Structure 1
Amino acid sequence: MLVTLFVSLLLTCTSAKDQNVVLSRLNDTKAVEAFVASAEVVLVGFLEGEDSHGYKELLAAAEKVNSVPVAICSVKEIWADYSVSSDTITLFRKADNHQENLVVAEAVKLDVDGLVNFISTNEVRYITEYNQVTAVGLFNSEVKTHLVIFANRGSEDYSGLKDKLSVLAPEFTGKLLFVLINGALKSNSRSLGYFGLKSKDLPRVGIYDGNSDMKWLLPEGDITVERVQDFCQSFIRGELKDVKQAGETNPKTEL
């Protein structure tokens, strides 16, 4: 009973007419912190009120993108904690501890489709399935190193590796982004070729370092959490610099 009362004091709900979406209203710092920590990706509208430009668009976008929790914070005293000074729609993501701000006053055109696109292109998760949309958020991230999981969609490996390695991804928050690439998709053949792979070679796991434009493959064998963890740690310790890059014909040293 007390717990229920406490939660209701932290979160009150608001809804707009003719909308099916009900958004949590965050009224203090603890409520915002709890909401941001509640999922891998969340969206907070730091908006003055229901009459603010962007409010109705945010409600409509929340209805379309139901995979991302959305809330409203109208308490300006809290905004400064998140470096927000005017009406702003902010996406928070855990995979790289990133905060992406869409300042309403600076938006050239703020409509529902544009807001949905903002969410979709920045929806980077602990394991992000690669496509043309998610590529924007991945390559705009300050984390330039990717642990790449190559598998063919439809195979047991695709969902199996995603589930298995998802427990490992949080350990490397801010260091590596985990990316799942569907090798059965023709448009991804260039990514496979960059690592010297073909669809028939999968599943495989590699690391791409965008800072040095270098890439390595985990040697063939069972793809276990322990092996991938050691592979990631080897990169962080700088031990892969002397290991052959994926696709090289004259290796320096085998891992």
Structure 2
Amino acid sequence: MMFLIVFSLLTVCVTSEDPENGVLRLKDVPAAEAFINSTEVAVIGFFQTDAARGYKEFLSAAAQMTSLPVAVCGEQEVWARYGIASDTISIFRKADLHQEHLNLSEAKKVDADGLVRFMTMNNIRYVTEYNQASAVGLFQSEVKTHVLLLANRGRTDSDPLQERFRDLAPKYTGKMLFVLVNGSEKSNARVLEYFGLESRDLPRVGIYDGTLDEKWLMPSGEITAERVQSFCDSFLAGDLQQKEAGTSEDKTEL
């Protein structure tokens, strides 16, 4: 709460809120940087005027995406800072250090539902819950290594596990995406099957490498922050891959 108060005081002179729609308006580069740095995922609609194509649709979509911080900006100084040349909706993510831009002049159709889908698919956070929409953004990300916490969210041990998971995620920014898979959801049964698991086997932690299309499962046991970090570090160091390769060779020789 104190952070939000301080942030508001720091930006009051360089941002304003539209009294009609309540959307934050960014007035200069420091305001834009403060807005982007204040959250895991930030959305900015870069529009030259309020009459621009997609402006009203953007406001409508923003009203539906209440969990996403949204702002608008028409200041050319800010546009230049982020390489914006025409009316564009941009999403800034910390988890994979990525910027996703939707150039409205190139879009065949612009409507609120489509913009909601764009924001939903690209709402990639330090810990992203896996579902049909977020899967698109996860697999389109340049970060192809996913660390999965497979847990039944209805169980009492799931919340502390998610906290440990979330605390670790920033340490692997740009290297790994941390993903929560709810094993209680029938739609996630194929993910569990891919790892050779069933709902009763959870919670477990796994790693998926999208480049190699390979997976690794952390040995069963208590899921501590130390074990998960060691598991991740072993992958990044190549130890998990070498171990699996060695096991495959042993099996071939036998």
Q: TM-score, normalised by structure 2?
A: 0.91
In 1, Cα distance between equivalents of 2:217 and 2:208? 9
Q: Which digits, 9 at most, give the CA deviation of each residue in 1:63-104, with x for residues without a partner?
A: 111000110110112212212100001011111011111111
- Where does residue 77 of structure 2 map in the other structure? 77
Residue aligning to 1:30: 30
Deviation at 1:187, TM superposition (A): 2.0
Tell me how far apart the structure 1 counterparts of residues 127 and 8 of structure 2 sit (CA, whole Å). 33
Q: Is it true that 1:225 corresponds to 2:225 in the alignment?
A: yes
- Quote how far apart the aligned CAs of 1:195 are: 1.0
- Write the deviation string for residues 103-127 of structure 1: whole angstroms up to 9, x where unpaired: 1101111111111111011111111
**Match status 1:40 vs 2:36:** no
Q: CA deviation at 1:243?
A: 2.7
Unaligned runs of 5+ in 2: 1-5
Question: 5+ unaligned residues in a row in structure 1: which ranges?
Answer: none
Q: Separation in 2 of the partners of 1:192 and 1:54?
A: 40
Alpha-carbon deviation of 1:5?
6.8
What is the deviation of 1:184?
Answer: 1.8
Query: Paired residues, what number?
Result: 245
Instruction: Read off the aligned partner of 1:13 and give its amino acid letter.
Output: E
Return the letter of the residue paired with 2:13. L
Aligned in 2, Cα 1:236/1:65: closer, same or farther, shift over 3 Å? same
The correspondence for 1:10, drawn from 7, 14, 36, is 14
Give the whole-Å Cα distance in 1 for the aligned partners of 2:129 and 2:157: 14
Deviation at 1:215, TM superposition (A): 1.0
Q: Percent identity?
A: 52
152-161 or 32-41: bigger deviation = 152-161
CA contact (8 A) 2:94 2:173 kept: yes
Q: Does 1:238 align with 2:242?
A: no
Show the counterpart of 2:173.
173
Q: Do 2:11 and 2:34's aligned partners in 1 also have CA atoms closer than 8 Å?
A: no
- Which residue of the partner structure matches residue 191 of structure 1? 191
Partners of 1:11 and 1:178 in 2: CA distance = 33
1:135-184: CA deviation from partner (whole Å, max 9, x where unpaired):
01000000000001101121123322112210110110110000111112
* Alpha-carbon distance between aligned partners in 1 of 2:7 and 2:133, rounded to the nearest angstrom: 40
Equivalent-residue separation in structure 1 for 2:24 and 2:116 (angstroms): 19
Point out the structure with the larger helix share: 2
> Does the 8 Å CA contact 2:164/2:225 hold for their aligned counterparts?
yes
Runs of 4+ in 1 over 6 A off after TM superposition: 2-5, 248-252
For residues 61 and 251 of structure 1, do their structure 2 counterparts lie closer, same or farther at Cα, with a shift above 3 Å needed? farther
What is the CA distance between 1:239 and its match in structure 2? 0.7
Q: What is the root-mean-square deviation of aligned Cα atoms in Å?
A: 2.1
